[in-house]
Structure 1
Amino acid sequence: MWKTKADGNVVNCWVIWKYPLPVTGDFYLDLPANTEILSAQAQQDKPQMWVRRSPADPDARIIRRNFQIVATGEEVEHSRFEHWNHIDTFQLLDGELVFHLFEVLPLPGNAP
């Protein structure tokens, strides 16, 4: 989104959004195509993900993105990691539990 400042300069604006995350497992989020994932952390012992995106744009293409949260020590079939992109690692309960957030990328030829 472009915004004109009081001095007449035109600037590109972004907004940081926060999304609550499940503790473990597979989940989906519908995000605008221009969304950039910044971080995943615990806030008040609840997992959250912060993203940078342009403000609401009625013409923005929405993409359903697939994510997976895995606990440290959890077994995951090796071949599944081939199409996962690590986003961040976060801790709950003062570090007693450690989780890893991945984005599950579309298989080649199956891009959204």
Structure 2
Amino acid sequence: MNIALWIIQGVLALAFLMGGMMKAFQVEKVKSSMPWAQDYSKGMINFIGWSELLGAIGLIVPFAADVAPVLTSIAAIALAVVMVLAAGVHAKRKENQAVFMNVIFIVLLVIVAIGRW
């Protein structure tokens, strides 16, 4: 189970690092390639990006360093909340494929949160 959790954590961390870096540092690219971003300010997109970056770090570092490992579960829960909010935005815009991806992320994040608690 430990290996499976590490694999899930690694995949999630990479996904959130890539998405977070784009939202934190390339807002114009996000606005041109992601339709939902047109409805949000640069500050909000940056906030989402930094939240994802910090969450990605939180998925790996606390448990790997054995320093306050409960923070890994807290990071997973926080990212799951971000994904629930994102699913709501995509559902309102009728972007069903994005909602489906958000649900997959939520399920994997809940698995990590429970497995690392």
TM-score by length of 1: 0.24
Structure number with bigger Rg: 1
TM-score by length of 2: 0.23
Going by fraction, where is strand more abundant, 1 or 2? 1
Going by fraction, where is helix more abundant, 1 or 2? 2
